[in-house]
Amino acid sequence: MRRTSAPYDGARGDVWRLDTATGVWTQISPIPSSSTDDYSGCSGLTIDRQNPSTIMVTTQVSWWPGVIIFRSTDRGATWSRI
């Protein structure tokens, strides 16, 4: 991941899930780094310990509206903006 030097100078990045049984990585980003959307790149991630299918991520240093929180209840297959 690229370090940034100024406020709102976010880097692009992705969220990945590892299937520990097969060793296969799957990109599950709510907004992939290949998108032209200005909100790609995440700076926060949490997984519900009691329901690991529920994941939340936050965007990284975006100008407006600041931070966007995305939530998935199906291991990152689909996302809702909250």
**What is the C-alpha to C-alpha distance for residues 18 and 9, in angstroms, rounded to an integer?**
29
pLDDT at 80 over 90: yes
Task: From 56, 53, 78, 51, select the one nearest 69 (Cα to Cα).
Answer: 56
Helix, strand and coil percent figures for the chain, each rounded to 5: 0, 30, 70
CB atoms within 10 A of CB 56: 18
**Chain segment 35-63, per-residue pLDDT in tens:** 776 666 677 899 999 999 999 998 876 66
pTM of the model: 0.76
**Chain segment 20-32, per-residue pLDDT in tens:** 999 999 999 888 8
Q: What is the pLDDT of residue 77?
A: 95
**What is the C-alpha to C-alpha distance for residues 7 and 62, in angstroms, rounded to an integer?**
9
**What is the C-alpha to C-alpha distance for residues 39 and 67, in angstroms, rounded to an integer?**
9
